[in-house]
Structure 1
Amino acid sequence: MTEDNEWMKTIQNENEYLKDQVRLLRENYELRSLLSQHYENSHEGRIVTSHPAPVYPNARSPGQGELELNSKKNGRIVGEIAFQLDRRILAYVFPGVTRLYGYTVSNIPEKIKQASMKCLDGSVDEKKHRAMMQRYLSLAARLEKMGYNRDVHPVFSEFLINTYGILKQRPDLHSSPLHSSPADLRKIVIDIVPSKFLGDTLLLLNCLCELSKEDSKPLFAW
């Protein structure tokens, strides 16, 4: 009976995992559809937004091309928020690792195992493995108190990065102070992200702000 119960529990866990993956794929499709509709309507002169259009006093009204450029740039800021949070998490778990190509928050446990292997015989350095795992679990516990879900938000973060992109160059904090302002970034997120995904995106921003306070670095750190 014990083996049967364990087998049923395993099947149930796998089913829950598959349901989560299907839900994320469906939300991915829905968000891309919403974004596509948004830009199609923008091209037709019908910008879909619940906020009033900005007023530009003492300046000429921007043309359609300029509006599209500003919207695209702000979209990259949304992706950059997710990217910066992921980089913060990886840098904390893997201190001293400067080249993080192939590292994602989703595959941290796997990368911990790889990073703790000894070069000579391929065995695991238990002390190194334990130290990295403790850093990962302690950080995860702090983020989970803010609502971060390890089974959902790493994938959602990758989705935002793939959907919106990231900034092409380091912003000048003196000429573009909004990159260091949580309030301004929050406004951009609210303006850009569809309401269905707004809560999770704002949660990522909150987590980034918290980690920025801890390491005393700018929100967008390079």
Structure 2
Amino acid sequence: MAEETRVILHGNRLSPYVKRVEMALKIKGIPYEFVEEDLKNKSPLLLKYNPVHKKIPVLVHNGKPLAESLVILEYIDEAWKTSPQLLPEDPYRRARVHFWASFLHQQLFEAIVLVIKTDEEARQKTIKEMFNKLKLLEDGVKDLFSDGIPLVVDNNINVGLLDVLMFSIFDSYEAHEQVLGIKVIDPEKTPVIYSWIKSINELHVVKELHIPHEKVLASVKLFRKLSMNSTAET
């Protein structure tokens, strides 16, 4: 790959933040190199490229690094105008997509993580909050995509920013359900979200990025165990 067009992604494939960047690169057909980072022993390059947060993902394009997944996604959409475009051209619709992207990234995903991290005593409150946010998303999506969610148009993938974020957050929801012992995505309570996730999972690019269930399950179990241990020690 020529240096002037070289794209490198530093990340870990179990990270939902990295998943969304990989999906964006793949759906736009952008060749890239993947550098697997050991988060317990971060590489000097990662620390150099992201000295503020020292986190993944980091995208390096033409030798110039970018951090933070939403920033990277918007950069990819602007730097490569190839179809599909992640954000709509219409200013109002673009603003609404930005709003729900922020909701998914900051509120809903954090609510799901909080359920996994919370001990049994306080978990009912966090579960209720998670379901409240899922209901808000369900109603918002019905309004935003009143004609249905157009993932495929004329045999071409028509994936947008919200689809990418949904994939990164809910690709592992069955592992979360198994660890937590609750139904996170209920086809009766949130039928639009359920159908949306199922449709995303049918895309060939998603199948390429899918991580085996057992590996994800082990990761979620470990995350919960470490969170419980941390809570017990405070």
Shorter-chain TM-score range: 0.3 to 0.5
**TM-score of the two chains, using structure 1 as the length reference:** 0.32
Point out the structure with the larger strand share: 2
Q: Select the structure with the greater relative contact order (CA < 8 A; seq sep ≥ 6).
A: 1
Query: Computing the radius of gyration over CA atoms, which structure comes out larger, 1 or 2?
Result: 1
Point out the structure with the larger helix share: 1
**TM-score of the two chains, using structure 2 as the length reference:** 0.31
